[in-house]
């Protein structure tokens, strides 16, 4: 059913029985009659609500349009617009003329308030065009202040999708607005916000008709349960990986406690195959996690048209030639990088030593804090970046140092130089280092499937439930993110465990951070075994996962 518009009681009995194409004709007719009346009662300044973005947060922008009664023809946009916003005048002019409207022949001033906040992107096209029509007296819209408007205009008047609609819809709800007018391709994304009227439009004429009360439009609603149900299936599975059961065990521990992991092995041993199937054993996103992840992808322009939510955990796999801004974010106007696009998901770095040293060092702060702070002249922008790092690498430049079937041609100096591309502080921040050996022929040709992802995921979920009970039912904290206070409280060792840890620290020369990583991994191993206490065996297994702290 069409959403009841404040003007519908006056026009609804006539228009609800008329086809959509005929309604658009009536809208244009009403606009023509309004032009005759505007000379007797010139319109006041028109105001509409729109939004811009600071990081992933939407900030309210008031679009003000004033058409002067005298003065030379020309339109000016003020309010710190970027080039895309300044160019909107020509798009708006063509869109209005090709939609049957007249662009003002007098001086037109368009103000985007607040004036000290930089505005970017083409999302102001639609509110500017509507404001121009209202200020010029072509259309009377008494209820335009009840809707937030966003959309890019094509030259023929069509409305194209824009970025950040989910954050804009949340802003409209916070501001107490009745609804939001969005491009049709963005409607599903905005409909995620419950209690907000989402009005999809395909053209400038439709938006004008709705706000003038001449064209009631149907709102959009989505079924979130169906969205999450469709995302719970994967096309790949852990059972497809032959052998490597000890590596699957290490990845199960990583998933259960949200620990970073590094896979080390020769070419063809299955490192990339295992990493690609790692998301299949992770818990599904909660609604709160999905909303925040979707907002990041939406503001970054990574969300496909028509997609309502990201219901699967994101997996990002940048090439090793990626720059620092590509990885952690940046730019003149700060944009999210790969670490933020992997928020609540997985960042897979294949061939880790091939990444530039400076790019890898830039990962240290987000790995530790879960946030990226980008400082620029105009201010500091923060992006969330709570992700799991899964990386892979060869043990040497030729790749065959640990392969018993092929000889390694690298000298010790070459191996040391290769491994030194990854700094000690970065290695310290990776909880699990696991060797991935070449798969024997008998296992490769075996017809016996490995453990399926569904069973492994149940083990991960059981361990996560124990962590939620320990840290509080409303807490999202996991073992891999425990602070020092909780670490001392929940990772107490008996005498045997203390002896194992003391010996590992002494013989391997581990750092204080590596000490804490071992305790966190030990706690997760105990949770997978459904034990309250951390045993010496748990500590011993965790020490075995410090591969790069020992000599290759």
Of residues 420, 266, 396, 388, the one with CA closest to residue 315 = 388
Instruction: For residue 163, give the DSSP letter.
Output: S
Q: Which domains does the chain have, with CATH numbers?
A: 8-211 (3.30.230.10), 230-458 (3.40.50.300), 482-543+547-551 (1.10.8)
Task: Give the Cα separation of 141 and 485 in Å (integer).
Answer: 59
3-state secondary structure of 227: helix
Question: Which pLDDT score is estimated for 171?
Answer: 96
Question: Which pLDDT score is estimated for 14?
Answer: 39
Q: What is the pLDDT of residues 388-427, one digit of tens each?
A: 999 999 999 998 888 888 889 899 899 989 988 898 889 8
pLDDT surpasses 60 at 41? no
pLDDT surpasses 70 at 38? no
- For residue 70, give every residue at least 6 positions away whose Cβ sits within 8 Å of its Cβ, in sequence order, or none: 106, 107
Q: What is the pLDDT of residues 456-507, one digit of tens each?
A: 999 999 999 999 999 886 677 899 999 888 898 899 999 999 999 999 898 8
Work out the average pLDDT over 6-10.
41
Least reliable range by pLDDT among 191-200, 245-254, 383-392, 504-513: 504-513
Task: Give the Cα separation of 57 and 386 in Å (integer).
Answer: 17
Question: Which pLDDT score is estimated for 441?
Answer: 77
Confidence of residue 30 (pLDDT cuts 50, 70, 90): low
3-state secondary structure of 411: coil
Question: Which pLDDT score is estimated for 214?
Answer: 84
Task: Decide if 153 contacts 204 (C-beta within 8 A).
Answer: yes
Task: Give the Cα separation of 37 and 389 in Å (integer).
Answer: 64
Q: What is the pLDDT of residues 288-338, one digit of tens each?
A: 999 999 999 999 999 888 888 888 899 999 999 999 999 999 887 888 999
Task: Decide if 49 contacts 62 (C-beta within 8 A).
Answer: yes
The whole-chain average pLDDT of the chain stands at 86
When comparing pLDDT for 230 and 488, which is higher? Answer: 488
Query: What is the reported pTM?
Result: 0.85
Q: Give all strands (DSSP E) within 202-307, no chain letters.
A: 261-264
Answer positive or negative: Cα dihedral of 199, 200, 204, 209.
negative
Q: What is the rounded radius of gyration, in angstroms, for the C-alpha atoms of the chain?
A: 29
From its phi and psi, is residue 176 left (phi > 0), alpha (psi between -120 and 50) or beta? left
pLDDT surpasses 80 at 170? yes
3-state secondary structure of 17: coil
Answer positive or negative: Cα dihedral of 180, 185, 187, 188.
negative
Of residues 324, 256, 335, the one with CA closest to residue 56 = 335
Task: Give the Cα separation of 260 and 344 in Å (integer).
Answer: 13
pLDDT surpasses 80 at 449? no
Alpha helices (H) along 300-337: 324-328
Secondary structure (DSSP) of 74-114: EEEEESSB-HHHHTHHHHHHHHHHHTT----SSEEEEEEES
Q: What is the pLDDT of residues 510-541, one digit of tens each?
A: 888 889 999 999 999 999 999 999 999 999 99
Q: What is the pLDDT of residues 249-270, one digit of tens each?
A: 999 999 999 999 999 999 888 8
Question: Which pLDDT score is estimated for 64?
Answer: 95
Return the percent helix, strand and coil in the chain, to nearest 5. Answer: 45, 15, 40
Work out the average pLDDT over 56-69.
91
Work out the average pLDDT over 442-468.
87
Task: Give the Cα separation of 107 and 105 in Å (integer).
Answer: 7
Whole-number percent of the chain with pLDDT over 70: 90
């Amino acid at each position: 059913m069409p959403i009841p518009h404040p003007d519908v009681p006056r026009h609804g009995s006539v228009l609800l029985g008329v086809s959509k194409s005929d309604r658009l004709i009536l809208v244009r007719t009403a606009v023509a009659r309004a032009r005759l009346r505007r000379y007797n009662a010139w319109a006041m300044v028109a105001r509409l609500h729109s939004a811009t973005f600071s990081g992933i947060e939407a900030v309210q922008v008031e679009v003000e349009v004033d058409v002067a009664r005298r003065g030379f023809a020309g339109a000016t946009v003020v309010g710190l617009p970027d080039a895309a916003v300044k160019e909107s005048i020509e798009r708006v002019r063509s869109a209005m003329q090709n939609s049957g409207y007249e662009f003002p022949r007098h001086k037109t001033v368009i103000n985007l308030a607040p004036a000290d906040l930089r505005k970017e992107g083409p999302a102001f096209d639609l509110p500017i065009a509507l404001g121009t029509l209202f200020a010029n007296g072509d259309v009377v819209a008494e209820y335009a202040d009840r809707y937030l408007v966003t959309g890019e205009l094509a030259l023929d008047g069509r409305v194209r999708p824009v970025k950040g609609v989910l954050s804009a819809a949340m802003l409209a709800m916070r501001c107490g607005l009745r609804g939001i007018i969005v491009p049709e391709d963005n409607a599903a994304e905005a409909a995620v916000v419950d209690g907000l009227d989402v009005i999809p439009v395909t053209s400038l004429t439709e938006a004008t008709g709705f706000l003038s009360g001449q064209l009631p439009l149907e709102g959009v609603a989505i079924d979130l349960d169906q969205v999450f149900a469709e995302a719970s299936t994967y096309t790949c599975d852990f059972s497809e990986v032959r052998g490597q059961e000890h590596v699957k065990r290490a990845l199960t521990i990583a998933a259960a406690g949200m620990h970073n992991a590094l896979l080390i092995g020769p070419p063809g041993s299955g490192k990339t195959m295992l990493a690609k199937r790692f998301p299949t054993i992770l818990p599904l996103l909660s609604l709160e996690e999905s909303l925040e992840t979707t907002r990041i992808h939406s503001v970054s322009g990574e969300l496909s048209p028509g997609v309502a939510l990201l219901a699967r955990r994101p997996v990002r796999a940048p090439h090793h030639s990626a720059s620092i801004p590509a990885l952690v974010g940046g730019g003149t106007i700060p944009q999210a990088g790969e670490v933020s696009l992997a928020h609540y998901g997985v960042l897979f770095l294949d061939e880790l030593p091939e990444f530039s040293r400076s790019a890898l060092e830039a990962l240290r702060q987000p790995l530790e804090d879960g946030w990226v702070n980008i400082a620029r002249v105009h201010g500091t922008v923060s992006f969330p970046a709570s992700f799991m790092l899964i990386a892979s690498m060869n043990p040497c430049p030729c790749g065959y140092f640990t392969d018993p079937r092929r000889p390694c041609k690298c000298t010790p100096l070459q191996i040391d130089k290769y491994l030194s591309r990854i700094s000690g502080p970065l290695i310290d921040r990776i909880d699990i280092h696991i060797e991935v050996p070449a798969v024997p022929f008998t296992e490769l040709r075996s017809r016996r499937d490995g453990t399926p992802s569904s069973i492994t995921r149940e083990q991960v979920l059981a361990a996560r439930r124990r962590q939620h009970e320990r840290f509080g039912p409303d807490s999202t904290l996991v073992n891999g993110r425990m602070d020092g206070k909780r670490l001392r409280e929940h990772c107490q060792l008996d005498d045997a465990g203390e002896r194992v840890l003391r010996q590992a620290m002494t013989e391997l020369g581990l750092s204080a951070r590596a000490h804490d990583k071992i305790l966190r991994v030990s706690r997760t191993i105990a949770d997978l075994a459904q034990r309250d206490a951390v045993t010496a065996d748990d500590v011993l297994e965790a020490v075995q996962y410090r591969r790069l702290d020992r000599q290759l």
